[in-house]
Structure 1
């Protein structure tokens, strides 16, 4: 009960702070409709631009926040619209045009580049914007930004062209309505901000001033007026694809040919339906597999485009981990007497998936996601009769998410999220529901958030319920920042059928204080000092876990050398109640002190590197961990660059769980070494064609010197009679070589070569040569694939077959294009 009382006090503080009048200044620009669309060629010589209004008087955002842009870098942007979309023409002066940075990169990547940046918010709610960037090399980058947090997984079809002139450079951009979201009404008022970065001085300028003293970046939009009575085209597009795969493994080669379709349909100007029919994710990148000796599974990043694009609504509350869909089956088969497991599937095939999302004029966001996966079967062989039996480990399964997100004020929202997993037949089902409140006062100086979640798991005619509760108050203004937080989870909290969670049965108290420079001082462009205090306990029955103090810092010099460091102290012995893997048990571990330093050199230069060193020293003789990383990179030209990564982790006398022997919990003392080498390289032919290399070798070994039995009081008693069979060495090696060509708007050809192998050895301590000999004695997977996708816009198709419809006759013709 005491935890709920504390949460209630924090929630009541919502009304305890002054609701000051918002004083953020907002520029506005009234733009005209044109009948003849300009050609997107980076020249701005079309008649449509002659009478266009100009957005000017940009203001420095960083490093000197609030300073007026110098006349030598004067920036003017013309904006117009028609029934197809909105057009931007930016002229950016530069007294040294030969120094404008123009590194070619892959799409959605910015290297050593000057760039022009557009933020559009169709709802003008200062919470979520669509972001469009074009570099001086003509490379496109797009993303969605929500309350200052960027999600660059979103890709859209839009058009741009740039040119370098004697006075600087020019960017011309066309953004179609069919990729935007705005309410259906006659007169539109959109949020707008624009920025320009000069790379050689690492200086950024914005149209509407962004005050770094308080609030999120998205609060500082200006406004577009004048868009009215637009007859938007039907928002319907198709992305058919064909793909072919040749896979060779252990001397056997198989060939696969696939075809399918992605569909996007604008139900209205605000809501969109996305569907994937006959999915193909064969070219998704490899996961970075590791040797996992922890109590929890490893969380991998999503690599499949459909599950990364347009999911900002479904990410509310972190109840959705998309890798569950098409991941491991929910059950496994155990071989009986005289049986052996012939085949156990490690993933389930996706049949189809769809999502509908959008936002009403009143600010209510609605999202519905649904996916269906296929059955999966394991095979078991009878050793005596050689007969195979098949056993279902996953039935047909439906995954569903429903989100309601009501925004209010300039930076506040209330959200309800529900996830549901229904498996056909007598299999496990699950449901999770969350309520989330995020409130920022009108002065944008304090933010308050609170949430509660419930999880229900239905299995074996039983229902298991768990809950999580969180509350936080956060000062978000000024040089001095602070926050306080409390959160708890009950033992049976479990969202892992469609979400991802690890720790349960805890209560946690967190305090934070931070100091920052808001303007450059002395030789520093910025400085951040952060202090954190954590108190962690088991919830039921109550048990102290640990108290941790953390300090970390970051500094950037006027020469853009970044460095920092910190230390962490856990002064008391701590009780870990997860490592024993049995509810109610815990193990005592010593406290420690940890210190680290890091640095990044000036990335404006051709050669640059970053690295860190982190040393844990435990309050136990001989027990320590040293972690280090070094990542140099070299830019040979604006087309060619290479990077190398080295990561080393050495732990001595580390202690951890190794096994169960009936009721006995076995721990071990081990020396562990992890070494990871990676190489990446890009050769960019132009802003449509690229060649990319990714290589990674990961090695990790654990060598056990002692074995222990865990006592009921958390102590470890050494076992001298038990045989040590727990040494392990794990290797994984993978190489991706990818050729990509954007040959038409939203249309791409990708050729991918892959090489991969791994090994798992129940030994440790081999030499480097012995380790590699063993790794390469295993079968390798070699794969060559080609995939062709083509973007079809319904309006272009209709126009091609209807000579009487001239609405699209002025569509821009010469363009650089983005992806679907």
Structure 2
């Protein structure tokens, strides 16, 4: 690891700062705040300095924004909030796009304006506040070019329009910001304006897209002094009622809880969820899993998606572990008597409470602490003769915590230390992971070195084990031509799966790549990029090659916003040490060549289409893959949008693992069909109320009808054999259906009411040859789960409570 650090530090040179001269805007302290209505006629704005003269950002990156599309911005503040007024002039406002959408969905067919505020002026961390010309607001945390729209704070913004253009008025309370406790604030800001009709974006301070990240180009904010912010305490109490029916049984449940945000200081915030309920989270996109690794899903719980940028450092925190599946899976052959059956087998563990504390000091040291406690969980077993029941512990009481220290410097670099820990009751299984992570760039943003070193430790009833992983990448990050080299390593005992996720270990891999892209349009294209990547993959023990890979990616966008491109890749013979599910054994997949080409038409049109088609062929095996994706979208009006997407893949004469006994590992030749269909439709009454429909159907058919089976040889080859499928039939017909229809109403800033109807059906059997239509018919013969839930969340600001009490007194 010291060699990696030395190499990284060697390429860091202190030359000169970015040559771009930064603008400055003066913020004016005011006594009477403006009325936030989007109509900029408040006298408070009359004497506030103007920031204007925007630069081109996209598609071209040179020159000024057209004079007739001038943008003017003003900033004011008091002891409660920052206020921003924006004037977006337009000689043809009737041509402006104004598609309605809901919070954070700001990249629709509507113009938008955003404020990128960096309250530490560190060139790295920004909070972006958006508003569209249709009045939709959004916010995101941005760390250089990495945007996190799961971040949600309470702020207010309204818009108005007239014959000269459109206007926006923001109120950003201090409880939405974090800044150091100093007399004179050192803030930075940039403003972005997107014009959909012209397909152009402008920024107040010019950003050179070929060098560094956009956050390094923000202008300066002067005049912000002696802020005496109010107490930062906000409460989000919620109540939820759920009625669910399944297979003739009806359950009803009422629950309530609260989320809390408390400003421990101007820079640090405590977030807590008490008696959480995640009943209205989006459904998981479940698929048939034939591989050797677990199937993972995206995080949909707001507490675990909001404001966790610090905890993602090092990529060793996978939040679905908290309150996920129990760690013990009941084996009927070993855990149950012949006259017993499982009555209750929990699919998840209840979360009792969770807190997170995060913030950044004036010295740019980020500190994060996370802790969560999950409930002791049992499965219930019933004796079918006596009727007696007993319990089996499937997850003990568990505590999860994370500590992060992240030092940022130079406006483009950081060094982080992260520790995660899982402690389960009675020493059932404890785990600890520590990581050192760095990303270092020179002042001119020519080169960057990044990497991580991770130590894992696991202690359970079988003993202790420790593991190690390291990664190092060195990049050229400036200009049209860029390149990188990298190395990834992990030993055989590396395991972070108690609070993180890693599918593989025991590797010693090398990578090199180069890319070429343009930042100024050509006569026919707004953008194009080529990227070539080569990989050499090895095991660590034994030190043997597993495969070599070569991949080419291409991306093009023309003047009319029509995108197209493709990717093509070649892989040598691949010795797969994971598919056999037995340590030390591997199966060889032959060399293959394939790729995909795609198109994406202009979303400004009423009808648009995304489509792709791909093919892959294996040279020494009869295996072939064909895959097609097709996603038309139709915008009926500025309020109604419908998107239908279909993905079809045909894996012909594939082969994979079936079973193993003490002497043989069995594989089988199979034809796999996967068909996934999704329909989303949204009707927006306004930026605060909408009806959403989301439907997903996934069907998979796995057919071993060729009756070609193999046993695995020690050298990775296969020997054809007979295999009796009468006891454990590997054929599969897998079908799952999810339908969500919801009405959501943001009736006040931070407050929301949502009514959700959910319909779920699932079927899995061995009828692999019945086809999709028959499979769907069989699916509807299964019991359906119907769920109706109503949830009300209300935003309470402690300072407003005090105002009410004072008025009453």
Shorter chain as normaliser: what TM range?
A: over 0.9
Deviation of the 1:12 alpha carbon: 5.1
How many angstroms does 1:769 deviate by? 3.4
Structure 2 match to 1:607: 607
Asked whether 1:330 is paired with 2:327, we answer: yes
2:298 is paired with a residue of what secondary structure? coil
| 8 Å contact from structure 1 (residues 480, 513) kept in 2 | yes
Counterpart contact for 2:159–2:167, Cα < 8 Å: yes
- 1:261: which partner in 2? 258
3-state DSSP class of the match of 1:178?
A: helix
Cα distance, 1:567 vs structure 2: 1.2
Aligned to 2:39: 43
Q: 1:568 to 1:5 in 2, by over 3 A?
A: farther
1:117-128 matches, within 5 Å, as 117-128=114-125
Partner of 1:312: 309
The residue number in structure 2 matching 1:213 is: 210
Is 1:85 matched with 2:81?
yes
Cα displacement (A) at 1:337: 3.7
- Map residues 746-765 of structure 1 onto 2, 5 A cutoff: 746-765=750-769
Aligned equivalent of 1:630: 630
Match of 1:817 in 2: none
CA separation in 2, counterparts of 1:201 and 1:661?
65
Report whether the alignment pairs 1:780 with 2:777: no
The answer to whether structure 1 residue 796 and structure 2 residue 800 are counterparts is yes
The match for 2:277 among 277, 280, 283 is: 280
Question: Quick check: 2:709–2:723 contact (8 Å CA) kept in 1?
Answer: no
Q: State the Cα deviation string for residues 102-150 of structure 1 (Å, max 9, x = none).
A: 1101211021010111101111101010011000000001110001100
Correspondences of 1:437-456 after superposition (within 5 Å):
437-456=438-457
The answer to whether the Cα contact below 8 Å between 2:413 and 2:440 also exists between their aligned partners in 1 is yes
- Equivalent residue for 1:814? none
CA deviation after TM superposition for structure 1 residue 448, in Å: 0.6
Deviation, structure 1 residue 493: 0.7
CA shift digits 1:61-104 (9 cap, x unpaired): 01110220111101111111111111111111111011111110
TM-score after normalising by structure 1: 0.96
Q: Describe the shift of the 1:172–1:5 C-alpha distance in structure 2 as closer, same or farther (beyond 3 A).
A: closer
User: Which residue of 2 is the match for residue 567 of structure 1?
Assistant: 568
Q: 2:687 matched to which residue of 1?
A: 687
Partners of 1:22 and 1:804 in 2: CA distance:
56
Provide the rounded CA distance (Å) in 1 between the counterparts of 2:382 and 2:720.
41
1:721 Cα offset (Å): 4.7
Among residues 732, 736, 743, which one is paired with 1:739 in the alignment? 743
- Name the counterpart of 2:55: 59
What is the DSSP-based 3-state SS (H/G/I as helix, E as strand, rest coil) of the residue aligned with 1:131?
strand
**Are the equivalent residues in 1 in contact too, given 2:553–2:568 (CA < 8 A)?**
yes
Match of 2:156 among 156, 159, 184: 159
Question: 1:728 maps to what in 2?
Answer: 732
**Are 1:535 and 2:531 an aligned pair?**
no
CA distance in 2, matches of 1:549, 1:434: 30
Contact 1:10 1:471 in 2 (8 A): no
**Which residue in 1 is equivalent to 2:113?**
116
Q: Distance in 1 between matches of 2:557 and 2:8?
A: 37
Q: What are the within-5 Å matches in structure 2 for residues 358-377 of structure 1?
A: 358-377=359-378
Q: Which residue of 2 aligns with 1:649?
A: 649
* 1:137 has 2:139 as partner: no
Does structure 1 conserve the Cα–Cα contact (< 8 Å) formed by 2:593 and 2:618? yes
Separation in 2, partners of 1:112, 1:333: 51
Gaps of 5+ in 2: none
1:102 alignment partner, SS class: coil
Q: Is the 8 A contact 2:699 2:772 kept in 1?
A: no
TM-score normalised by length of structure 2? 0.97
Aligned equivalents of 1:120, 1:70: Cα separation in 2: 25
Cα distance change, pair 142–573 in 1 and its aligned pair in 2 (3 A): same
Over 3 Å counting, the alpha-carbon distance change for 1:581 and 1:7 in structure 2 is farther
Cα distance in 2 between the residues matched to 1:193 and 1:386: 69
Contact conserved, 1:635 with 1:642, CA < 8 A, in 2? Answer: yes
* TM-superposed deviation, 1:722: 3.4
* RMSD after superposition: 1.4
Residue-by-residue CA offset, 1:234-259 (whole Å, 9 max, x unaligned): 00011111110010100111110011
Structure 2 equivalent of residue 698 of structure 1: 698
> In the TM superposition, what whole-angstrom CA distance separates every residue of 1:680-706 from its partner, at most 9, and x where no partner exists?
100000111110000011000111132
Matches within 5 A, 1:358-757: 358-460=359-461, 462-570=463-571, 572-704=572-704, 705=706, 706-723=708-725, 725-757=729-761
Structure 2 CA distance for aligned equivalents of residues 299 and 565 of structure 1: 27
**Aligned partners of 1:520 and 1:526 also within 8 Å:** yes
Aligned to 1:809: none
CA distance in 2, matches of 1:85, 1:453: 41
Structure 1 position 779, deviation (Å): 0.5
| CA deviation after TM superposition for structure 1 residue 757, in Å | 0.7
Displacement of 1:18 after TM fit? 6.0
For the Cα contact (< 8 Å) 1:516–1:526, is it kept in 2? yes
Residue 203 of structure 2 corresponds to residue 202 of structure 1: no
Distance 1:5 1:35 in 2: 56
Deviations 1:328-348 (A, max 9, x none): 111123334423333321100
Q: Separation in 1 of the partners of 2:666 and 2:40?
A: 73
Cα deviations by residue, 1:188-213 (Å, 9 ceiling, x for unpaired): 01110001011011100000101011
After superposition, the C-alpha distances for 1:378-397 in whole angstroms (9 at most, x for unaligned) are 12233554432211111111
Moved more, 337-346 or 322-331: 337-346
Q: CA deviation at 1:9?
A: 6.7
Give the Cα–Cα distance (whole angstroms) in 2 for the partners of residues 204 and 387 of structure 1: 69
Displacement of 1:767: 3.1
Contact in 2 for aligned 1:474/1:482 (Cα 8 Å): yes
Q: For 1:332 and 1:294, how far apart are their aligned partners in 2?
A: 18
Please give the alpha-carbon distance, in whole angstroms, between the structure 1 residues aligned to 2:482 and 2:776. Answer: 51
Distance change (3 Å), C-alpha of 1:547 and 1:6: farther
Query: Retained in 2: the 8 A contact 1:707–1:722?
Result: no
SS of 1:494's partner is coil
1:22 alignment partner, one of 13, 18, 23:
18
Provide, for residues 753-806 of structure 1, a one-character-per-residue CA deviation record: whole Å limited to 9, x for no partner. 00001101023010333212211111000000000111000001101111499x
Three-state SS of the structure 2 residue aligned to 1:802 is helix
Work out the CA distance in 2 between the residues paired with 1:742 and 1:429.
Answer: 42
* Aligned with 1:76 (options 62, 72, 82): 72
The match for 1:95 is 91
Note if contact 1:10-1:472 (Cα within 8 Å) is conserved in structure 2: no
Gaps of 5+ in 1: 806-820
Give the match for residue 174 of structure 2.
Answer: 177
SS of match in other structure, 1:112? coil
Deviations for 1:602-658, whole angstroms, at most 9, x for unmatched residues? Answer: 111111011111111111353110111010001011111111011001001111111
Whether 2:262 is the aligned partner of 1:238: answer no
Q: Which residue of 2 aligns with 1:813?
A: none
Change (3 A) 1:389 1:569: same
Give the stretch that moved more between structures: 63-72 or 689-698.
Answer: 63-72
Give the drift of 1:13.
3.3
The structure-2 alpha-carbon separation of the partners of 1:242 and 1:336, relative to structure 1 and needing over 3 Å to count, comes to closer
Contact 1:158 1:175 in 2 (8 A): yes
- Relative distance call for 1:261 and 1:436 in structure 2 (3 A) is same
CA distance in 1, matches of 2:450, 2:621: 43
Give, in whole Å, the separation in 1 of the partners of 2:341 and 2:787.
30
CA distance in 1, matches of 2:773, 2:642: 27
Range with bigger deviation, 312-321 or 704-713: 704-713
Does structure 2 retain, via aligned residues, the 8 Å contact 1:754–1:784?
yes
Q: Does structure 1 retain, via aligned residues, the 8 Å contact 2:11–2:447?
A: no
Question: 2: CA distance between counterparts of 1:726 and 1:32?
Answer: 71
Render the CA deviation track for 1:142-162: whole Å, top value 9, x for unaligned: 110001100000111101111
Structure 1 residues 390 and 349: alpha-carbon distance in aligned structure 2, compared to 1, 3 A threshold? same
**Which SS does the other structure have where 1:603 is aligned?**
coil
Alpha-carbon deviations, 1:289-311, whole Å to 9, x = none?
00011111122100110000000
Give per-residue Cα distances to partners, 1:563-613, cap 9 Å, x unaligned. Answer: 00131111x322111111111111111010012101100111111011111
Whole-angstrom CA distance in 2 between matches of 1:13 and 1:575: 37
The secondary structure found in structure 2 opposite 1:284 is coil
